[in-house]
Structure 1
Amino acid sequence: MKGRMTLVALIGIFVLPVVVAKLVLEKSWYEKGVTNYGQFLSEPATLNWLPEQGQWRLIYRVPEQCDSVCEQALFQLTQIPIAVGKERDRVSSVALTSTAQKAPEVLTRQTLTTEQAQAWQQQAFDKKTIYLSDPMNNVVLAYPVSDDKTQWVAQGKGLLRDLKRLLKLSKVG
């Protein structure tokens, strides 16, 4: 009798955790953790027409009329590469503009041709979003810029954390 109890207890110790784990996964009681703050793009996009391959880039399309959201995005584009610290030379910011627009001097300004503007629109990129591009010109993450100051600060911190993590893990760029 004592041997049977020991056998049942021994089987329970090894089988019970497997059964519980299977139930947790099947019933969706477990929420996966997310380590990134930006939004991954549903479909990968490659921007071959961007210059300076070999750097991580923050990309923002400057609208015709630069409002407060645009100014906040441009401020983040100027500050985040500085905040990266010693890895600063691996990061650059690109402001995509039309011919008549101006961007801050610290940013790399690229005037879009008609073909490039059409390619940008075909990718369905949002106008009020900062995009993170890897050194191979693949757009990886999107960070929507909010007009709410608390969300704006949190989004900037999240972008910086994601970028630092990518720079730490990546040997490219």
Structure 2
Amino acid sequence: MVTRLSNHQVLMCLVFVFIAPVLLGKLFLNMHWYSAGATNLGDLLPVKLSYQALKIDNPVPHHWQVLFQVPRQCTWLCKQQISILQRTVIALGKDQNRVKPVLITNNLKQIKHLNAKVLKPNSALATALADDLFVIVDPLGKWVLRYPTVTNERASLLQARHLLTDMKTLLKLSKVG
């Protein structure tokens, strides 16, 4: 024997089917049971930060750039990070021509053997970089992602992996540069 649902029961089933997922979603968000995912591993910078805003000429226009702030005294960790920067660009494979390393330093002796553009630091640049070690800059000169200064070799290698992952993602999604 077939039992028929009353109109009231059908309405309640429909309400449950369509409203319950919305309520469950709201509950998950309010109780912080869901953490939003991020595709970038570096820290996003404000949109207004660019070479133009800092009144600095773009050292390598129409190319993606990885800025590296060289400390006054380049220790073994600094030299390793410069080497990591070079290897990161090489690891981009066919896209390595789209990315140019830019070193920010006054001391040209410690980087004379490198194939990188050099940018002289000024007060606006020092303020913008603050504690950042690496900064990814898009082909239009807008600063996109930052990676803070690290203090040991293990953190430096992890940061290099994050930098490479973010660069690959940006290059894959970008048609410019």
TM-score of the superposition, structure 1-length normalised? 0.86
User: CA offset at residue 100 of structure 1?
Assistant: 5.1
In structure 2, what is the equivalent of residue 51 of structure 1?
A: 59
Whose strand proportion is higher, 1 or 2? 1
Q: Conserved in 1, the CA contact under 8 Å of 2:47 and 2:143?
A: no
Stretches of structure 2 lacking an aligned partner (at least 5 in a row): none
Q: Give the SS at the match of 2:110.
A: coil
Give matches, 1:131-170, under 5 Å: 131-170=135-174
User: CA offset at residue 150 of structure 1?
Assistant: 2.4
Q: Give the SS at the match of 1:60.
A: strand
Give matches, 1:21-170, under 5 Å: 21-42=25-46, 44-47=48-51, 48-99=56-107, 101-112=109-120, 116-126=121-131, 129-170=133-174
Using the aligned pairs only, state the percent identity: 31
The count of corresponding residues between Structure 1 and Structure 2 is: 169
TM-score of the superposition, structure 2-length normalised? 0.84
- Shift in alpha-carbon separation, 1:149–1:124, aligned structure 2, 3 A: closer
Q: Which string of whole-angstrom CA distances, capped at 9 and with x for unpartnered residues, describes residues 70-110 of structure 1?
A: 11221122111111000111011011111554315333242
Bigger-Rg structure (1/2): 2
Separation in 1, partners of 2:61, 2:108? 26
Q: Conserved in 2, the CA contact under 8 Å of 1:68 and 1:147?
A: no
- Shift in alpha-carbon separation, 1:131–1:106, aligned structure 2, 3 A: same
Q: Conserved in 2, the CA contact under 8 Å of 1:56 and 1:133?
A: yes
- Shift in alpha-carbon separation, 1:79–1:143, aligned structure 2, 3 A: same
Q: Conserved in 1, the CA contact under 8 Å of 2:50 and 2:141?
A: yes
Stretches of structure 1 lacking an aligned partner (at least 5 in a row): none
